[in-house]
Structures are given as structure tokens and as C-alpha cells.
Amino acid sequence: MKKLLGVILVLVALVHNIASAQDENYQAKQQLHQFKLKTKLQPESGEVNFRGLSKPELQSKLNSLLNVAADEFIKILNDGPTDKKFQESIAQGLTRFNPFYTDLDTEDKTRICTYFEELMDDVGLESSGGVINKWMYGFDPTVKQ
């Protein structure tokens, strides 16, 4: 009887943990969908204080690239999320901005990085593994050389 009760308690705990993880993924997916609905790279004031893209004609294309990054995060959530998968996705996502890199000023690049940090927050990712710094500055300032 005690063994049966122990097994039941373990199963209940496992089901609870699985349900909690699914709930977290659900919340993250909802936040990522909300992110996609936003018009990004527009002038903003307040905490962000972004004056808008230096080349506004790029706004639509860059907005689409940010939405692709959000879609990839949703796919990772569906396929079994890991920090490494998210970090690889960030690296790939930022690489998509490379054709526009010279057309962006520092403020534009910083805002793009801030959007990637927002995606990270949505899924609870603590670190990009230096990927964002490497794209922004050409190196990871947290790594001693």
C-alpha cells in the first residue's frame, strides 16, 4: 500500500511538472505572438527612447526579419526548448540582418538587439551566449582575449 501511494505521488508530481512546463510554453508563445503583432522599429519614447530607423525604407523588411526570429522561437518551444537552441536561433536571426548592417546606425543596431533581448525575456532565456554582443560589437566583451 505504501509503495502504491508513493508511486501515485510521484506520478502526480510528474504530471504537475509537465503541465507547468506546458503552461510556461503557452505563456511564452502568447508573448511571442504579441511581439509579432507589434510594429517594430518605429519612433518610441519613454524607457526605450528610439527616434526611428535612420533609413525608414528598411522598416518593413527589418520588421519581417524580427518576426521570423519570433517564429523560430515558437518552433523551438514546440520542439523542445534548450538554451543552446535559442542561442543558435539568435545567431542565425542576427545574421539575417547582415546585408543591412552598413545601412544601420548604432542606434538602429542597438534597437534590433533590444528586440532580441525581448524575445529572450519572453522565453526566459538569461543569456545569448555572447551572440548579441558579437553581432553588435564584433566581439564578446565578456570574454577575455
Whether 65 and 100 have beta carbons less than 8 Å apart is answered as no
Q: Which domain holds residue 93?
A: 44-145
Residue 91 covered by a domain? yes
Q: How confident is the model at residue 19 (pLDDT cuts 50, 70, 90)?
A: very low
Residues 67-115 pLDDT 10s: 999 999 999 999 999 999 999 999 999 999 999 999 999 999 999 999 9
Residue 18 covered by a domain? no
Supply the pLDDT for residue 10.
56
Q: Assign residue 101 the CATH number of its domain.
A: 1.20.1480.40
Q: How many domains does the chain have?
A: 1
Q: Is 40 exposed, middle or buried (0-12, 13-18, 19+ CB in 10 A)?
A: buried
Tell me phi and psi for residue 122, to 5 degrees. Answer: -60, -35
- What's the rounded mean pLDDT across residues 17-41? 83
Q: What angle do CA 29, 34, 37 make, to 5 degrees?
A: 130
Residue 24 covered by a domain? no
- To the nearest whole number, what is the mean pLDDT of the chain? 88
Maximal CA-CA distance, the chain: 72
pTM, two decimal places: 0.81
Q: Is 73 exposed, middle or buried (0-12, 13-18, 19+ CB in 10 A)?
A: buried
The residue behind cell 509503495 is 3
Residue 66 covered by a domain? yes
Question: Which is higher by pLDDT, 66 or 21?
Answer: 66
Residue 16 covered by a domain? no
Whether 59 and 115 have beta carbons less than 8 Å apart is answered as no
Tell me phi and psi for residue 44, to 5 degrees. Answer: -140, 145
32 vs 28: CA distance, rounded Å: 6
Q: What angle do CA 87, 115, 70 make, to 5 degrees?
A: 60
Q: How far apart, in Å, do the first and last CA atoms of the chain sit?
A: 61
Residue 37 covered by a domain? no
Residue 20 covered by a domain? no
Supply the pLDDT for residue 98.
97
